[in-house]
Amino acid sequence: MGPPAIEVLASAHLTDVIVVGRGDSVLGVSVVGALVVHGHMPILVVPGDDTNYDPSGPAMIAWNGSSEAANAIRCGLPLLRAASDVHIVAIEEESRGFPAADVATYLSRHGVHAEVHERSAEPSVEEALKDAALELGASTIIMGGYGHSRMQELVLGGVTRAMLQGCPIPLLLSH
C-alpha cells in the first residue's frame, strides 16, 4: 500500500532479523538500503535465488573500525556463534583506528574464536572483500552498511552499494 521498505519496517517491530532477496534492480538495492538505514535490526540480504544459505558455514566480518561495523558484529553474534569459522577481514585503507585485533578480543569474550586477516584495497575495497570471502569460503559476510552521508554515497558510490549490487554471498548488514 505504501513504499515497500516503510511497509516492511512497520510490521517488524519485534523482528530479530529481516531476510530479503537482493534483487538485481536499482529499485531492489534502494529498498534494501532503506531497510538498512531505517531499520533497527539487522538485514540479511540473500543474492538472487539462492536457497542454500548455511548459517553454520564460515562467517567473514568486513571490518573498517566504524560504528556501523561494530553494530553489525553485535547484531550478528548469534550467526557468529553458529559459524564453523570466523574471519575478520580488515582492509588497510579503510581502517578508522579501532584495530581488528580488538574485535577478536571482544568476540572471544562471547565464546567466538576469530582469525584476523589484513588486506590491501586492491583493486577496490569491495573487490578485496569479495575476493577474501571467496578465498575463505565464507557463507556470510557481516558488515556495517551505509557509513557515509547520503550525498557522499550518491555521488561517489560506496562499498555497501557495490556489495549489494554484485556480491554472490549473503550479507548481514546493520547501520
Dihedral in degrees, nearest 10, Cα atoms 71, 63, 45, 174: 20
- Nearest residue to 143 (alpha-carbon basis) of 90, 96, 78, 85: 90
The per-residue pLDDT for range 89-147, each reduced to its tens digit, is: 998 765 567 899 999 999 999 999 999 999 999 899 999 999 999 999 999 999 999 86
Element (H, E) at 12: none
Nearest alpha carbon to residue 32 among 19, 50, 51, 13:
19
Query: In this prediction, what percent of the chain has a pLDDT beyond 90?
Result: 59
Domains and CATH numbers, the chain: 4-174 (3.40.50.12370)
pLDDT of residue 155: 44
In Å, what is the CA distance from 161 to each residue of 50, 103, 125, 147?
19, 24, 12, 11
**Maximum separation of any 2 CA atoms in the chain, in Å:** 47
Cβ contact 73:106 at 8 Å = yes
Of 124, 106, 35, 34, whose CA–CA distance to 65 is shortest?
106
CA torsion sign for 121, 126, 127, 129 is positive
- Please tell me the pTM assigned to this model: 0.90
| Reported confidence tier of residue 76, pLDDT bands at 50, 70, 90 | very high
